[in-house]
Amino acid sequence: MSDRRLPKEIELSIDRSLAKPTRIHKVATPSASQLWIKREDELSSGISGGKVRKYASLIPYLKQNGIDLVGMIGGPNSNNLVGLAQLLKENQISPFAFVREAAAPNIHGNALLLAMLLSEEERMLIPRDKWDAVEKIASEVLQQRESRGQHTHLLREGCFGVPALLGSLTLAEDILRNESELGRAFDRIYIDCGTGLSAIGLVLGLQMLLGEAAIEREIVITLIAETEARFLEKLNSIKMQLHALYPIAAYKQANLRFLKPVLSPRFGSVNKSLFQSCCNVARESGMLMDPTYSAKHFATALQDQASAKAPLLSLFVFNGSALGLMGFQDQIARSSMEGI
């Protein structure tokens, strides 16, 4: 189990001061004896964990291409908009956010952070009935800016695309480093899926670094916001794009399994059991998990791990950020006072 590194061509596209190593430790939950956790949440204090890996290649890409205005698309509670706005500003690239109008006016959680980060001139609210046309509306706005001499770039929701994928490949590399320090390989890795880019980065990264041996690790994907069919379609399409640019490895079959969240499965939905689960995880394991992704993912992985016939050494990728709790303070306060 020697350390394996990504090919040089890809390495050159990644800012390593962003895609840093993260630690792993055993999960303290008594029922999860063979479960380890990868603290991707520790990559940043203000950006949701795995997103930092995407930005580690996306920001250099934007700079190399002389982009000075970036269009970004997302819902009012998007972790991606909040994270990207921070790093774009830090790098003196102007963000312009196309934000889906909220069902109810709200100025808490990520919507509040976004309002802090972006001025009125840096965002446009898109009415819910126009949301299907958001990419078209966004391209038109950016086109106008181009005609005024700005260099613009429009990112798809969640930054889906090869420029952000390259940074996501570093997760696989860092897991192999963790394994090498631990002296054992994981049988199984649990990861969550929004647009799927982080999970796709893990799958392709392991294939790139391990070749055929990648199949020895089962990757279990909690489908927070995607279907299995859509995920596989996206995996295939981005694999072909990556292969055309970097014909490095012959990507082999991966060992994938998909799970639906066991708590409040519809994306963005929340309920009492979910908030209670957030409180339980905090009390049992000392981890502050956001309800939208991480707490659903964790409950799902724990249940799956408990049903394994043989004990398997597993790794749970904690992609989240405690900041994700901000939008739900009232509900969580109620849950924690109900004497759980």
Ligand X SMILES: *Cc1c(COP(=O)(O)O)cnc(C)c1O
Alpha helices in 169-287 (DSSP H): 170-182, 197-210, 228-245, 272-285
For residue 209, give the amino acid letter: L
Kindly determine how many residues on this chain lie close enough to bind ligand X according to the rule CB under 6 A.
Answer: 19
At 152 the three-state DSSP class reads strand
Q: Does 40 bind ligand X (CB under 6 A)?
A: no
* Residue of 79, 170, 178, 314 that binds ligand X (CB under 6 A): 79
Q: Does 294 bind ligand X (CB under 6 A)?
A: yes
Q: How far is Cα 283 from Cα 263, in angstroms, rounded to an integer?
A: 18
Considering only the stretches 47-55, 65-73, 85-93, 302-310, report the one whose residues sit in contact with ligand X under the rule CB under 6 A: 47-55
303 to 322: interface string for ligand X, x by CB under 6 A: ----------------xx--
Q: How far is the CB of 279 from ligand X (least distance, A)?
A: 18
- Sign, CA torsion 339/284/188/38: positive
**Quick one: 41 or 179, whose CB is closer to ligand X?**
41
**Quick one: 13 or 110, whose CB is closer to ligand X?**
110
Q: Does 153 bind ligand X (CB under 6 A)?
A: no
E-assigned strand segments in 34-110: 35-38, 69-74, 94-100
Q: How far is Cα 35 from Cα 202, in angstroms, rounded to an integer?
A: 18
**Quick one: 2 or 45, whose CB is closer to ligand X?**
45
At 212 the three-state DSSP class reads helix
Binding positions for ligand X, 188-247, rule CB under 6 A: 192-199
Question: Is 78 labeled as catalytic in the residue annotation?
Answer: yes
Q: Does 57 bind ligand X (CB under 6 A)?
A: no
Q: How far is Cα 290 from Cα 323, in angstroms, rounded to an integer?
A: 7
Nearest to 155 by CA among 271, 73, 252: 73
Q: Does 167 bind ligand X (CB under 6 A)?
A: no
Residue numbers of the site for ligand X (CB under 6 A)?
Answer: 48, 50-51, 79-80, 158, 192-199, 290, 293-294, 319-320
Catalytic machinery residues: 78
